[in-house]
Amino acid sequence: MVISAIAQGLLWAVLGIGIFTTYRILNFPDLTAEGSFPLGAAVAVTAIVNEIHPVLVMGLAVLAGMSAGLVTGLLYTKGKVPVILAGILVMTALHSVMLYVMQRPNLSLLNHPRIFDSLAFLPNYFDAVVVGLAVVSLVIGLLLFFFYTSLGQAYIATGDNEAMARSFGIQTDRMKIIGLVFSNGIIALAGSLIAQNNGYADVNGGTGVIVIGLASLIIGEVAFKDVTLGERLISIVIGSILYQLLLLGVIRLGFDTTYIRLFSASILAVCLMIPQIRRALKLDTLIRKEG
């Protein structure tokens, strides 16, 4: 079971990394994620059912996610639609896109090949661990290469200080579009992996994924402070695994899985409040000392 949780953590980590590239670097929340994640799943499952190779399928999912990100990016930068609203619009529209792609609300992979099948000789769950590790390493490697190019540095600067970036001739609108395109491509990749692992895709599969992605991100940040960009990306992976282990623990304690989202949201809420809680506790000890 622990191996299963680690495998899940690795696969879901891709989502956390995708969310990180906008939420933490550009400093805005992108709600497109709740649409691009199931879109990646829908595209992947449909393509596999149509007998396209599972690896190629993941490329298609990435392209689909990138297009979704492009639309959000154009709405936000050229259309001046507030970014949260732009994300909600695209997320809503994608629901119909997924129905069009799959021609039905959900689609099963039963009796079809998956990316994990090529590793079928491994013991249970280890196939997912290997695939997860490979994809996570690839994504982190590519992102790190990007962040340390001239373009990537301009991208980071845009999120860090937009006025300054523009004053140095950085086309900040273009950077935001690039960020949304990359982020949603990665998120759709996560969707295609999870769908193959679950064995199906569902148009409603995106509900709550932002919470899961943010939870791995925030747990990683709470556990590891002041780290380099590379270490930060790895910390998201660790955060994602810790989050899945937490879920496993709670399920073991006999928590009704019907209410799992309440638990997910609570974990994230607590993690987000940790700085405040710490401050409150410190204040407490100070007062006691004085008294």
Partner 1 sequence: MTTLLNLKQATKTIQNESDTNTTILDHVDLTIRKGEFVTVLGGNGAGKTTLFNSITGTIELTSGKLYIGDKEVTRLPEEKRARHISRVFQDPKMGTAPRMTVAENLLLALKRGEKRHLLPRKMKAQRDSFQTLCASVGNGLEKHLDTPTGHLSGGQRQSLSLLMATLTRPELLLLDEHTAALDPKTAKRLMELTQEVIETHQLTCLMITHRMEDALKYGNRLIVLENGRIKLDLNAREKAQMKLEDLFVLFEEEKAQII
Q: How far is the CB of 237 from partner 1 (least distance, A)?
A: 21
Q: How far is the CB of 60 from partner 1 (least distance, A)?
A: 23
* Residue number with CB closer to partner 1 (64 or 154): 154
Residue of 56, 83, 51 lying closest to 184 (CA atoms): 83
Q: How far is the CB of 81 from partner 1 (least distance, A)?
A: 20
Residues in 165-204 at the binding interface with partner 1, rule: CB under 8 A: 165-172
22 contacts: CB under 8 Å, gap ≥ 6: 28, 29, 30, 179, 180, 183
d(CA 266, CA 191): 23
Q: What is the dihedral of CA 228, 241, 18, 110, to 10 degrees?
A: 150
Q: How many residues bind partner 1 (CB under 8 A)?
A: 22
d(CA 74, CA 206): 22
Helix H or strand E segment including 201: strand 200-202
Supply the DSSP string of 82-135, one letter for each residue: -HHHHHHHHHHHHHHHHHHHHSSSEEE-TTS--GGGGGTTS-TTHHHHHHHHHH
Q: How far is the CB of 68 from partner 1 (least distance, A)?
A: 22
Residues in 206-245 at the binding interface with partner 1, rule: CB under 8 A: none
* Residue number with CB closer to partner 1 (153 or 266): 153
Supply the DSSP string of 207-228, one letter for each residue: TTHHHHHHHHHHHHHHHS-S--
CB contact burial 161-200 (16+ within 10 A = b; e otherwise): ebeebeeeebebbebbbbbbbbbbbbbbbbbbbbbbbeee
* Residue number with CB closer to partner 1 (84 or 164): 164
Q: How far is the CB of 55 from partner 1 (least distance, A)?
A: 24
* Residue number with CB closer to partner 1 (114 or 176): 176
Specify the stretch interacting with partner 1 by CB under 8 A; choose among 133-141, 142-150, 185-193, 212-220: 142-150
* Residue number with CB closer to partner 1 (29 or 113): 29
Q: How far is the CB of 272 from partner 1 (least distance, A)?
A: 20
Residues in 258-277 at the binding interface with partner 1, rule: CB under 8 A: none
Residues in 143-172 at the binding interface with partner 1, rule: CB under 8 A: 146, 148-154, 156-157, 160-161, 163-172
* Residue number with CB closer to partner 1 (103 or 150): 150
Residue of 92, 94, 103, 85 lying closest to 39 (CA atoms): 94
Q: How far is the CB of 99 from partner 1 (least distance, A)?
A: 36
* Residue number with CB closer to partner 1 (61 or 175): 175
Q: What is the largest CA-CA distance in the chain?
A: 73
Q: How far is the CB of 66 from partner 1 (least distance, A)?
A: 15
Q: Answer whether 15's CB lies under 8 Å from 220's CB.
A: no
* Residue number with CB closer to partner 1 (138 or 164): 164
Residue with tokens 């769908």: 195
Check binding of 96 to partner 1 (CB under 8 A). no
Binding site for partner 1 (CB under 8 A): 146, 148-154, 156-157, 160-161, 163-172
